[in-house]
Amino acid sequence: MWLKPEEVLLKNALKLWATEKSNDYFVLQRRRGYGEGGGGLTGLLVGTLDAVLDSTAKVAPFRILHQTPDSQVYWSIACGATREEIVKHWEWLQKNIMSTLSVFDSSEDITSFVQGKIRGLIAEEGKSSLVKEEDPEKFREALLRFQKWFGLPKKEKLVTYYSCSYWRGRVPCQGWLYLSTNFLSFYSFLLGAEVKIIISWDEMWKLEKTSTVLLTEGIHVRARGEDYDFSMFLHLNETFLLMEQLADYSLRRLFDKETFEGDPALRDPLQITKRGLETRARNEQFRAFFRLCRSENLLEVHESFLWVPFSQFNTLGKICVSESYLCFASQDGSQCYVIIPLREVLGVETPDNGSKALTVCVRGKRALRFTEVRDFVHLAAKIRRKCGAGASPQHSGSGEVPAEVCQALIEHFEDNPEEEALMVGQRGSSRAVSTEALMTVFHPQDAENLDPKMLKEKMKEQSWNIHFAEYGRGVSMFRTSKTRDLIMRGVPEALRGELWMLFSGAVNDMAMHPGCYAELVEKSVGTSTLATDEIERDLHRSLPEHPAFQSDTGISALRRVLTAYAYRNPKIGYCQAMNILTSVLLLYAKEEEAFWLLVAVCERMLPDYFNRRIIGALVDQAVFEELIGARLPQLTDHMTDMTFFSSVSLSWFLTLFISVLPIESAVNVVDCFFYDGIKAVLQLGLAVLDYNMERLLRCHDDAEAVTILNKFFDNVTNKDSPLPSTVQQAAVGNDGSKSQVKVDITDLIREAYEKYGDLRSEEVEGLRRRNRLYVIHTLEDTTKQNVLRVVSQDVKFSAGDLDELYELFKKQHFLSCYWSMSGPALTHHDPSLPYLEQYQLGSGEFRALYCLLSPWAHCSSRDALALATFRLLDENQDGLVNFKEFCYGLDVLYSGSFTEKLKFLFKLHLLPALSEPVETGSPVVSKVCTLSKEGLMHLSRLDVLLPGVSQDGVIRKSPERGKGKVDLQAYLKQWQDELLKKEESIKDLPRINQSQFIQFSKTLYNLFHGAPEEESLYRAVTTVTSLLLRMEEVGRRLQGAQGEGSPSLTGTADSTPLREEEEKEWSFAFEQILASLLNEPVLVRFFEKPEDMRAHLDHAREAQLKA
């Protein structure tokens, strides 16, 4: 490998390097301790030194130096792992460089020429693959070591590497940690002791930062039932962040089958870089903080001061610029931030060069003044350019916008509100949907009502109006701790929809997609899918006690919103609890607004909550448990089983307490959720347990604890709620219990913020990432147990062997996804399928695993045999085989009788020719049509597995799945037919024709190769073949005696769906072949010989990755 020329001091280097070749300009050297004469104490010391210092010499013990003539200065220009590699470089220099160097007169010119030539060679080699790395030269050397030490496929993309120590017991091993797309790898070499660790990200159960007296700060990894501790990092936080991102990426790509189409940093697993991951992390943090959609990316960050008019001072913070937004967040603890959609910017001024200031004019007669912006001219020009003509016709020029122009624009839009509506993208909204919140329709407020609750409601509204006047109203309002204080007191009924839209970011989604909801409603109306069936079933279960959902108005609006969302996002479709949440949204928001609020909740604020496995809710439950252990330790000490908290709190997270609290109290929780996110729900959950601490500590079992919590929720009230009594759900009495006092929701929320308000969103996100690994692997473990329980009923493998077989099959499935973006496992993935179908193999992956595990894999035609086996097991011809089908095939080979194995081999040759190629992921199409259409159909109806094998009734894949309404009755009938399937008779098998029989005989010969009784087996097959041919000849003579021109006996048999291509075509029935082979004891012994499954499993586990 060519190296970037670096100066070396040869005087000291001679102690570690031995010169093997030299001339006037170049020196070829070998590292001492390597090659001939290597080893011994010198080899141990030099190897240790190379490993600790991360020297390339550890994996490339040969090098070439360039010597500047008449000087002691040498330059390293090449290295090699083998003598052949370095000699090749040496010969290239001799052939292409030596003759040219004699032309130069100056030694400096010679060195400059050599260095330029080497740099050109390096640039040519790495221009396509290493251009994105921060330091391409160093990265090339690290990549060489990575590939040499770990032997992973060359397609594996190294992301970065760090120096650290791995703790083996209490002994630290200094070495290097390599992070790649699919693996965490570590290498250390100290005084002959080599430590090599390779862990795939999908095997990790735990990844966390630790801090102990012994290890100081480090990183703990748990995988494959073992613990790994790494410490002494120079950049611990950076390393841990990258490890978290790579682990999360692997989980989402392999377990959830995400393709990351909208994420350029992760779209191609072969192009992932450290820089791309860091950029993605910043973008995610930026979007989460400001509640922006996924299309927004952080483009620039500028430190500045923002003039805060309500406090009359400048607050220090950072300006964040994305494609469509200008955002500011303070850094001085004032919790002040503001979001300015560029669509609302009217102009930008730069009035004072001395203070480096710029003023941004926005709708609503408002202006924001930023000062001490280092590159304020560039930022002002960028904002003007991004606003474009949509914000102001005057922005088309490159000059500044004067103050009078900004004021004129403000007055223009104040006088023409219809143009203002067009500006925010809401003009022309559909009239086909409800344009009023259901609460406005069913419970209009009476302005003349002087009820004390209504008066307090008016006071709340007045407080918010004062807040709007001081802090602004709309998307670009200032958000401070004072805003949170108002939220904690409860949002007024009249403002709830507006503020939910604002704080969730849904107002921006709706403005960016005008008319989208009406279009989705029009497209989805009348569709019939599994999601729409579930929606119809749950419509009347959504707040059934509320008058709005006892009428067609509310039910129709709920149907439209849920159906439109299922149409927009089929990956989520519809999940239980979405109906409850959407019902509450419709009460306070217009129908279109409720739709975009649902989008914000499902896709941003509660990610992965509403899907088949509700992973997001389970992750947050695990976070909740961890917070209980940290904040309420006395409760965890009392509860012997922490799963109690998971079971009782699931509905809290899925419905934001709506399902357990009275509606008038639950909406206050939703207020806090839209402002603070999941943090507000976690805080409230802790406050609920804290409030009931004494009673919970006196509980003797889980049922008693559940009863206490249920009674508590029934007695949570909202004394300030202006809703009529017909709507309120709070308990009127206390069910005779004098000890149960009423709790006001406002007081409960205030207590939650006072006691647990120090919980930061960043801390919650870190806990989410850490617990996601554990949750997903727990679900995977449950899936594995379900699969093994089903499969174990029909195969003869032991529980341990079946467990290892499942892990190998799952790993092979992942290997098909490691370095590919469009493998069959990804393109054919359907998350709605049963657990048995989640992991499947295409023909290529099947062949690789079959060759590692099959007892017949030693024969020369194993690839063709593997392909034929794949076709036989692929019943529905979709190009994929699941674990159950794979196990059935292996079970025949390992545990089947002589007849079963022979029948399996016979069926393999009834399929198209063994050598015929198959296209992965597409139905098998016969090119050599040896069977008629009726014959193929007949064959497909046969039980291609073990005789008497009963199916588990799992719903098979249907090509019509997801396309219209699912016929459940048809599935039930299919299930019944599978269960009642009778044992297949050998008489039902088609006859094998001439070419198929020849191939069958060849396969037998190949199977016997290397067997102890190889000669006897060959003679036995020869005898059987001769016997069968003589029998066929006798049959022909008898047939000819019956009359010329009559059809052959083999052509008239009902059980033979063969194409009659020639009159001379002959064939055999399975009974004939079986009877003939049974006459040869040596053949019977060969097929009934027991096979060592354990040896094959051990070999496959070691060789799977390399294969």
Is the pLDDT higher at 744 or at 1031? Answer: 744
pLDDT at 35 over 80: no
Confidence at 43, pLDDT banded by 50, 70, 90: low
Confidence at 858, pLDDT banded by 50, 70, 90: confident
Cβ proximity of 34 and 53 under 8 Å: no
Residue type, 951: Q
Which range of 51-55, 415-419, 979-983, 999-1003 scores highest in mean pLDDT? It is 999-1003
Please report, rounded to a whole number, the percentage of residues in the chain having pLDDT higher than 70: 77
Residues 6+ apart with CB under 8 A from 1014: 1008
Residue type, 856: W
Is the pLDDT higher at 176 or at 974? Answer: 176
Q: How would DSSP label each residue in 717-773?
A: E-TT--S-TTT--S-SS-TT-TT---EEHHHHHHHHHHHHTT--HHHHHHHHHHHHH
Phi and psi angles of residue 303, each rounded to the nearest 5 degrees, phi first: -80, 135
| Cα 944 to chain centroid, rounded | 35
pLDDT at 614 over 60: yes
Please report, rounded to a whole number, the percentage of residues in the chain having pLDDT higher than 90: 30
The average confidence (pLDDT) of the chain is: 79
**Structure confidence at residue 76 (pLDDT):** 86
Confidence at 133, pLDDT banded by 50, 70, 90: low
Residue type, 837: E
pLDDT at 373 over 50: yes
pLDDT at 1064 over 90: no
Which tens digits make up the pLDDT trace of 1021-1061?
Answer: 888 888 888 887 776 777 666 555 544 434 444 444 434 44
Is the pLDDT higher at 213 or at 944? Answer: 213
**Structure confidence at residue 425 (pLDDT):** 35
| Mean pLDDT computed over 34-44 | 55
**Structure confidence at residue 973 (pLDDT):** 54
C-alpha distance across the termini of the chain, in Å: 26
Distance CA(252)–CA(47), nearest Å, equals: 39
Strand-pair category, 337-341 with 345-349: unpaired
pLDDT at 833 over 80: no
Structure tokens at 395: 């922005």
**Structure confidence at residue 937 (pLDDT):** 34
Distance CA(56)–CA(79), nearest Å, equals: 8
pLDDT at 1003 over 90: no
Which range of 256-260, 327-331, 952-956, 1002-1006 scores highest in mean pLDDT? It is 327-331
Phi and psi angles of residue 212, each rounded to the nearest 5 degrees, phi first: -130, 170
Which tens digits make up the pLDDT trace of 499-556?
Answer: 999 999 999 999 999 999 999 999 998 888 888 999 999 998 888 888 888 889 999 9
CA angle 942, 835, 678 (to 5 degrees): 160
Q: DSSP class of residue 1058?
A: B
Cβ proximity of 1057 and 931 under 8 Å: yes
Look up the pTM and report it: 0.77
Q: DSSP class of residue 1080?
A: -
SS3 of 430, please?
A: coil
Strand-pair category, 716-717 with 743-744: parallel
| Mean pLDDT computed over 841-850 | 90
Cβ proximity of 730 and 718 under 8 Å: yes
**Structure confidence at residue 561 (pLDDT):** 95
When mean pLDDT is compared across 201-205, 889-893, 1008-1012, the lowest value belongs to: 1008-1012
Instruction: Using CB atoms within 10 Å of the CB of residue 390, give its burial: 0 to 12 exposed, 13 to 18 middle, 19+ buried.
Output: middle
**Structure confidence at residue 611 (pLDDT):** 80
How distant, in Å, are the alpha carbons of 28, 266, 814, 821 from that of 270? 35, 9, 15, 9
**Structure confidence at residue 943 (pLDDT):** 36
| Mean pLDDT computed over 690-694 | 92
Cβ proximity of 702 and 673 under 8 Å: no
**Structure confidence at residue 257 (pLDDT):** 74
Distance CA(1047)–CA(1063), nearest Å, equals: 8
Which range of 57-66, 921-930, 973-982 scores highest in mean pLDDT? It is 57-66
Report the residue count for the chain: 1107
Residues 6+ apart with CB under 8 A from 549: 540, 542, 543, 555, 558, 583
Distance CA(33)–CA(44), nearest Å, equals: 7
**Structure confidence at residue 783 (pLDDT):** 87
Strand-pair category, 158-168 with 171-180: antiparallel
Structure tokens at 700: 């003797």
Which range of 304-318, 453-467, 675-689, 1046-1060 scores highest in mean pLDDT? It is 675-689
